[in-house]
A and B are shown apart, each in its own frame.
Chain A
């Protein structure tokens, strides 16, 4: 297993367009998390899944954002009608439900630039 992978790594789009990011977690991990990180800041929690169920959503996740994990494996994060304020790095992480270490494993992120 090569770890958490995210695609695309970089996305440049015009304001008003829709974008979708994909995350493939470590295969046996049943928890999957999405974070947003703006320049010079720490990651901020957006949402997480346990298997296919979306268990928690941050108030940062506006109506324009939707996330899915249809078969409990990969996940997608879609942003509709993008705004310049959506420009950020979107990080995906995964973990086991019951972990001895509590560690989250992160992907390299998908950087979004909205022009």
Chain B
């Protein structure tokens, strides 16, 4: 069975600094997606960044980037120039890709990120 592990229940970063959130996963599949979702307090979950397993290049979205190590089954999120609005729960998630049709999303337990002014 596929599992996603986030080993940091809470993290804190100073505004304008950089922080890295860790995620490891376990799967025997070769074709899948990995995601980082952000869930602000009492707000809906939104996608931060995604990575396709067959792509070696790490995904980037403005201040957000990932370090995808497929062999190590590691998928960390780096947030640069942290802003107060980045404070939220961050969930790492995995989704298998069956030849273009995807399975359900499997989440880690989340990391609560606090940003200090």
Contact = CB atoms under 8 A, between A and B. Distances in A.
A and B together in one complex: yes
B44 A42 contact: no
A43 B91 contact: yes
A42 B25 CA distance: 14
The range of chain B's interface size is: 20 to 34
B45 A98 contact: no
Contacts of A42: 4, 6, 91, 107-110
A99 interface: yes
B62 interface: no
A95 interface: yes
Q: Is the interface of B mostly helix, strand, loop or mixed?
A: strand
A47 B44 CA distance: 19
Contacts of B33: 101-102
Interface residues of A, number: 25
B85 interface: no
Interface stretch (A61-69, A74-82, A105-113): A105-113
Contact of A33 (B46, B97, B104): B104
A102 B96 CA distance: 9
A103 B95 CA distance: 9
A45 B106 contact: yes
A98 B104 contact: no
Contact of B104 (A4, A41, A56, A108): A56
Interface of B: 4, 6, 33, 35, 37, 43-47, 50, 52, 91, 95, 97, 100-102, 104-110
Given A97-B101, A102-B97, 16 more contacts: A4-B44, A41-B109, A42-B4, A42-B107, A42-B108, A42-B109, A43-B105, A45-B105, A45-B106, A56-B104, A98-B100, A102-B102, A103-B50, A106-B44, A108-B43, A108-B44
